[in-house]
Structure 1
Amino acid sequence: MSDSAPASTGFPPLAPVIPVSMLNRLARERLESAFPLCWVAGEVSNLSRAPSGHVYFSLKDAAAQVRCVIFRSRAQLLGWRLENGQHIEARVLVTLYEARGDFQLNVEAARRAGVGNLYEEFLRLKERLEREGLFASAGKRALPAFPRRVGIVTSPQAAALRDVLSTLGRRAPQVSIVLYPTPVQGDGAAAQIAATIRRAGERGECDLLIVCRGGGSIEDLWAFNDEAVARAIRACPLPVICGVGHETDFTIADLAADQRAPTPTAAAELAAPEQAALCRRLGVTRATLLRSIGQSLDQRGQQVDWLARRLQHPAQALAVQRESLRNLQRRLGAGLLQASAQARSGMASLGRRLLLSRPDPARHANRLAGLTPRLRGAWHEARQSRSADLARLRDGLAHLNPRAVLARGYSVVADDQGRVVRDSTALEPRQRFAVLFHRGRVDATVVSVFEEDDTVLALSAIASPASPE
């Protein structure tokens, strides 16, 4: 065995060794993937606030506790102050703090214990009213552009009222305000809010209505999550702006209102336009109008000057018309003379063409008399030439006539089919044939056939009665 080879110990190979940081990271990843976001209930203890803005505490119950952290970005959105001893419900991510290996919960949101039931009730009411169409945008009205009187439904002791009054006094001092006092928190507040909204609608002394109150917990704002308040808002004949709570708060009244504002101050800003902005707009509009009027007057003055230059005295217009009439008369006279001359020239040309085209009987009769003897001579000459040709052809045809050959003592032998026999081998014994003479014909039957090399073919035949031809 080589010295460099490792010695065998007899034990199975070990798993790979990993550092603590990798172990904690793997454990954190397993925890976060195994546990989705969930709600955990417990009592707050050991709470501390770091200078960074993060909040550290423990959630505990009778049997166990767990470390929790709310990072600064989430803590700013709570809307209420977290303290030891509070019972809360937290929406958490189960994780592991890798640097120390501590099991902890990262809190994404938190609410006071019992708020979950209220929130579920809020969701059920919202869903039912939404199915009913109470929140439909089709039935919502536009806010008046320039209201003269604004009604406010809120508590006279509410800080929200001071915010609305100061905002309207600063932005729109020309708007008068009518306060409809009502409790906005506590037992029976929802029924009183609904009754106040109905009373404001029945009085009809305002152009629009603001329903508002300051921020608070979901319990504090619960009067505005009431069905009676939502129905009163929808039934109100006045446009309604709802400004309840802070920007993150959302109630059933916000959904039912014609316009939702994130805060009471924002509701006041929506209710009436800013007077200074209106004055600026009015100044800009006035300057634009004056500029437009000035431009229009300048254009009209220029148009008047142009029309004045075109304007003529009636006598001058008549003189122009008379001169135009004289020009037309001169043009008419010249045109008539020119047309008459052209017509006369055309007539003369047509007369000459007619004289050239008219027939001359005497001239044609003389020509005909001269052509008659020539025609007769040509006809006699042609007839004599054709007669000579005919005689020559007749003589040539007579030489080719077969009967002329037969007249010299020759005859023609034809078989029973009428074909001319040129060879004795074409006939067979007992075959009928005919012999044609210059005059007449003989029908015969072959008795025997003889062949001679250099003489005339001899046939032995029995003649039948001859038939004239």
Structure 2
Amino acid sequence: MTRPNFLDRNQDVISVSSLNRMARDLLEAGIPPVWIGGEISNLTLAASGHGYFSLKDGGAQVRCVMFRHKLALLPFRPQEGMQVELRGQVTLYEARGEFQISVGEMRAAGLGRLYEAFERLKARLQAEGLFDSSRKRELPAHPAAIGIVTSPAAAALRDVVSTLRRRMPGIPLILYPAQVQGEGSAQQIANAIRQAGERREADVLIICRGGGSIEDLWSFNEEIVARAVAACPIPTVSGVGHETDFTICDFVADRRAPTPTAAAELVSPNREHLAIQLEQAKRALERALGRLLTDKTQQLDFLGRRLTHPGSKLQAQRDKLGALSQTLRQRVHTMFDQGRWRLQLAASHLTRHQPDLAAQSQRLQQQQARLQRAQDRLLERRSQQLAQLSATLTAFNPEAVLARGYAIVQKRNGQAVKNPAELQDHERVTLRLAEGSTEARIEHPQGVQPELPF
């Protein structure tokens, strides 16, 4: 490969920034992205979300950076000392001149196929709707019994039992034993879950085990376990591994707990909190009863002061009735007086405004006579106009002209002829007379057709 000549022959001094930029371009152009295996060391997760660490083996180490948007896509959380395989771009951080790898992908060393299988099954079950929040059920607030699916020898069982005994020792615990690691463990876990669902002895079911590697937890990533959890008729809580561990069982269960202990806390009420709530409710009830007793006592005293002898109350009612009767009589008299006055006023008003019928009748007769005379004059004028128009119409009537011996010459299409020049020699025409019509043929003198005047 031919190396580019970054230096001008006439210039032998360059800046540090230019040098680092040339080195970065050489690295990125000369080394394509590759998969590299090693151990994570000096891991720092910055507040910005970016991850900074060294990848080392027995003989060397290299600085690495994984930016937030890439780090968030990982199915696990990188930890100090973890063996990983990563794919990235070899580059140079110009500001400090440090050789580093910009990481784009990361997987646990030797577990690439397991993670690929995990992601494939997760995508398929999610597409089927097994992870949908709509199918998640609420956990019972006060379960009558709690079921546990785990190994009888697991430390997780001891953590769950001790937590439940501390929080609510009166709740019965039912163990559905199953091997949680190794060959055949996934089938045993699925059988235990189905057994718990068929017996219906518990109101909620905890599926748990302690932390471990992805191989240790792989039984909870098997499809048979996921199907059993999805089909379980009672609410389920998955408490598998540590807070950073995620399994398919976590996504299918109704609730996920970061640890087995947290799962026990999710399904059980805290008796100390219940005792505090009960004491608070007791005090609130005592205060409410005290206020109610005080209010009723004051109300009784108030009603006692209002209580009077029935005779006194009857006398007061008689006095009130007498006063109301007197008021009613006064108002009736007042209404009659006002009505009589309004009637007299209306009669006086009617008398003043009564019409003079004789005068109005005489004026009506005069108006009728005037109307009749005007109508006669108008009729006479219209008769004279009609006679004049009739005479004019008679004078201009073509029928009257024909009666005096004239004729109308019409062509075959009915058009009247006004000028002989409009007629052709030997053309047939119609002669319309006063008492009928006849046909004729045109013959011009000496066979010469007259010309139209200009």
Cα distance in 2, alignment partners of residues 353 and 57 from structure 1? 120
Amino acid at match of 1:258: D
Q: Which has the larger radius of gyration?
A: 1
3-state SS of paired residue (1:173): coil
Cα distance in 1, alignment partners of residues 125 and 113 from structure 2? 18
Counterpart residue number, 2:418: none
Counterpart residue number, 2:216: 220
Counterpart residue number, 2:180: 184
3-state SS of paired residue (2:175): strand
The Cα RMSD (Å) is 4.0
Counterpart residue number, 1:267: 263
Counterpart selection for 1:236 from 232, 254, 263: 232
3-state SS of paired residue (2:289): helix
What does 1:298-317 correspond to in 2, within 5 Å?
Answer: 298-317=294-313
- Residues 67, 105 of structure 1: 8 Å contact kept: no
Cα–Cα, structure 1 residues 333 and 35, in superposed 2: closer, same or farther, change >3 Å?
farther
Cα–Cα, structure 1 residues 117 and 19, in superposed 2: closer, same or farther, change >3 Å?
same
Alignment partner of 1:322 is 2:322: no
Counterpart residue number, 1:136: 132
Cα distance in 1, alignment partners of residues 99 and 194 from structure 2? 55
What TM-score comes out, normalization by structure 1 length? 0.61
What does 1:35-114 correspond to in 2, within 5 Å?
Answer: 40-42=35-37, 44=38, 56=54, 58=56, 67-69=61-63, 77-79=77-79, 81-82=81-82, 88-92=84-88, 94-96=90-92, 103-105=99-101, 111-114=107-110
Q: 1:23 Cα deviation (Å)?
A: 1.7
Q: 1:232 Cα deviation (Å)?
A: 0.7
Cα distance in 1, alignment partners of residues 25 and 289 from structure 2? 75
Amino acid at match of 1:67: Q
Counterpart residue number, 1:293: 289
Between Structure 1 and Structure 2, how many residues are aligned?
334
Counterpart selection for 2:273 from 277, 292, 295: 277
Q: 1:167 Cα deviation (Å)?
A: 1.8
Amino acid at match of 1:314: P
Q: Deviations over 1:269-325 (max 9, x none)?
A: 111121111111111122112222222232233333333333333322221221112
Alignment partner of 1:157 is 2:145: no
- Residues 67, 104 of structure 1: 8 Å contact kept: no
Amino acid at match of 1:144: P
Q: 1:136 Cα deviation (Å)?
A: 1.7
Q: 1:258 Cα deviation (Å)?
A: 0.5
Q: 1:67 Cα deviation (Å)?
A: 3.5
Q: Deviations over 1:195-224 (max 9, x none)?
A: 011111112111111101111121111100
- Residues 245, 262 of structure 1: 8 Å contact kept: yes
Amino acid at match of 2:178: T
Q: Deviations over 1:38-70 (max 9, x none)?
A: 67243x4xx79679999755459xxxx973346
Q: Deviations over 1:118-156 (max 9, x none)?
A: 111111111111111122222221001012321111112
- Residues 36, 87 of structure 2: 8 Å contact kept: no
3-state SS of paired residue (2:214): coil
3-state SS of paired residue (2:118): helix
Cα–Cα, structure 1 residues 106 and 355, in superposed 2: closer, same or farther, change >3 Å?
closer
Q: 1:173 Cα deviation (Å)?
A: 2.1
Counterpart residue number, 2:420: none
- Residues 154, 182 of structure 1: 8 Å contact kept: yes
Q: Which runs of 5+ in 2 are unaligned?
A: 1-7, 46-51, 355-454
- Residues 41, 113 of structure 1: 8 Å contact kept: no
- Residues 160, 264 of structure 2: 8 Å contact kept: yes
3-state SS of paired residue (2:159): helix
Cα distance in 1, alignment partners of residues 348 and 131 from structure 2? 105
Amino acid at match of 2:219: A
Amino acid at match of 2:78: L
Q: 1:355 Cα deviation (Å)?
A: 10
Counterpart residue number, 2:10: 14
Q: 1:111 Cα deviation (Å)?
A: 4.2
- Residues 145, 171 of structure 2: 8 Å contact kept: yes
Of 17-26 and 335-344, deviating more is 335-344
3-state SS of paired residue (2:160): helix
Cα–Cα, structure 1 residues 302 and 26, in superposed 2: closer, same or farther, change >3 Å?
farther
Identity level (%): 49
Cα distance in 1, alignment partners of residues 142 and 221 from structure 2? 30
- Residues 66, 104 of structure 1: 8 Å contact kept: no
- Residues 190, 226 of structure 1: 8 Å contact kept: yes
Counterpart residue number, 1:171: 167
- Residues 68, 107 of structure 1: 8 Å contact kept: no
- Residues 89, 112 of structure 1: 8 Å contact kept: yes
Cα distance in 2, alignment partners of residues 152 and 27 from structure 1? 60
Counterpart residue number, 1:428: none
3-state SS of paired residue (2:311): helix
Q: Which runs of 5+ in 1 are unaligned?
A: 1-11, 359-469
Cα–Cα, structure 1 residues 99 and 344, in superposed 2: closer, same or farther, change >3 Å?
closer
3-state SS of paired residue (2:212): coil
Q: 1:112 Cα deviation (Å)?
A: 3.7
Cα distance in 1, alignment partners of residues 337 and 204 from structure 2? 95
Amino acid at match of 1:310: R
What TM-score comes out, normalization by structure 2 length? 0.62
Amino acid at match of 2:249: A
- Residues 215, 245 of structure 1: 8 Å contact kept: yes
Counterpart residue number, 2:399: none
Cα–Cα, structure 1 residues 71 and 330, in superposed 2: closer, same or farther, change >3 Å?
same
Counterpart residue number, 1:419: none
Q: 1:230 Cα deviation (Å)?
A: 0.8
Q: 1:190 Cα deviation (Å)?
A: 0.6
- Residues 66, 105 of structure 1: 8 Å contact kept: no
Amino acid at match of 2:283: A
